[in-house]
Amino acid sequence: MWFFLLSQSSIQYHCSTTSEEKKTAEQKAYDKAKDIIEKLKKGEDFSKLAKEYSKDSTTASKGGALGKINKGDYADEVFEALKNLKDGSYSTSPVKSSYGYHIVYRISQDKKAELNDELTKEIKTTIGKEIADESGFSVKAL
C-alpha cells in the first residue's frame, strides 16, 4: 500500500506538564488537523500541506510520502484508517494514535495474487517435497 501521512504530533510529555496542559495540546492538534482536512476539501495539495504542517521531519520533507507499508509498520489506528480508504482518497477526520493526530492519503494498493487450481497444486507439491526432504522420507508412487 502506498500512502502519505500528514502527522500532527500532538502532545509534548514533560515531567512538569499537567493533565490540563496535555488536554489543551491534544485539542489544539485535533483542531489543526481538522483545519488541514478543510484545506484538502478545498483542493489544496496534500504534499504541500504535509511539507508545511507535518511534525515528522523525515516524511514532511518528502511531502508526507511513506512508500509501501504493511501491517505493523505504523500505528494500528493509521493502518486501519488506510484500509478503509479507497485509492486516491484521504481521511476526512483526524486519525488518533499514540503519536498524535494523522491525516492519511491512500494512493494505491498492490493487487493481491490470485490462487488458481494449478498454482495451488504446485504450492502443495513443493511444500510436500520440502517436508519429505526435511523428514528424511523417501517417496515412491505406483
Q: What is the pLDDT of residue 17?
A: 66
Element (H, E) at 2: strand 2-9
Q: Which of 7, 4, 1 is nearest to 95 (CA)?
A: 7
What is the structure's pLDDT at 122?
87
Kindly state the DSSP code that residue 112 receives in the 8-state scheme.
P
- Enter the DSSP assignment of 79: H
Going by pLDDT thresholds of 50, 70 and 90, the confidence category of residue 124 is confident
**Contact (CB, 8 A) for 56 and 103:** no
Q: Find the mean pLDDT for residues 19-26.
A: 84
Mean pLDDT of 105-118: 78
For residues 141 and 136, give the distance between their C-alpha atoms in angstroms, rounded to a whole number: 16
Q: Per the confidence metrics, is the pTM higher than 0.75?
A: no
**pLDDT, tens digit (0-9, with 9 covering 90-100), for 80-106:** 888 888 988 999 999 998 888 889 888
Distance CA 40, CA 34 (A): 10
Residue 120 backbone class (left: φ over 0; alpha: ψ -120 to 50; beta: rest): alpha
Q: Output the pLDDT for position 36.
A: 93
- How far is 139 from 133, CA to CA, in rounded Å? 9
On the question of pLDDT at 2 being above 60, the answer is: no
Return the percentage of the chain with pLDDT > 90, whole number: 17
Q: Give CA–CA dist 91/105, Å, rounded.
A: 7
